[in-house]
Amino acid sequence: MAAQHNRHRTQAERREQTRTALLDATVDCLVEVGYARTSVQEICARAGVSKGAVQHHFSAKAELMAAAVEHLTEKLKAQRLAAMAELPAGTARVPAAIDLLWEAYSGTLSTAVTELWVAARTDPELRAAIRPVDRALGRSVLENIAAVADNVPRDRVETLFWLTVNLTRGLALDAELGGDPTRRKQLLEEWKRIAVELYAGD
């Protein structure tokens, strides 16, 4: 009975390992070669998984892409929550939270998601798969931010959040094409200054 239970768990673990390897390989592939060259074959080669095995986990490429974003989001969430627990108090909290959002919406996650977003514009199946994941990501980060935004009215938190997210997405695109990093840094600093003023109230 115990042995059978152990064997069952080992199978589930192995299944989980294969799934994780596929999702990590998908993200790596999106970042390194872009969506257009991210084939299931390439992902399998990177993950060391047979093409047949993928079908036990994901019925379509779009599903694999959405799961990869979800997987990366979960990995980053733990990191983000730890950083949020250490946000400074008072007005220093706003610029520190903006830095956290910049980190969340730039880097690997941003690169992978931007590849998928742009591909999804002309691919309805991919769009249907990643829209819910993207919305859930936005809502989840917003709730984390709202939870630490003591005394700031909810509508102000949401405005600041979405302005920051969209500005950050624009800046992340700029970074990807090799725009001037000094200008990006200045703009982010200027935005923090504006945000502190907004946070202080009218």
Residues 6+ apart with CB under 8 A from 165: 101, 105, 138, 141
Site map for its own copies, 100-119, x if CB under 8 A? -----------x--xx-xxx
Judged by CB under 8 A, the stretch of 26-34, 72-80, 94-102, 146-154 that binds its own copies is 26-34
Query: What gap in Å lies between CA 190 and CA 198, rounded to an integer?
Result: 13
Residues 6+ apart with CB under 8 A from 176: 111, 114
190 near its own copies, judged by CB under 8 A: yes
Question: How many other CB atoms are there within 10 angstroms of residue 99's CB atom?
Answer: 14
40 near its own copies, judged by CB under 8 A: no
176 near its own copies, judged by CB under 8 A: yes
Q: Considering beta carbons, is residue 36 or 85 the nearer one to its own copies?
A: 36
In sequence order, which ranges of 49-153 are alpha helices (DSSP H)?
51-57, 61-84, 93-105, 107-121, 124-148
Interaction site with its own copies (CB under 8 A) = 32-37, 111, 114-115, 117-123, 127, 130-131, 134, 159, 162-163, 165-171, 173-174, 176-178, 183, 186-187, 190-191, 194, 198
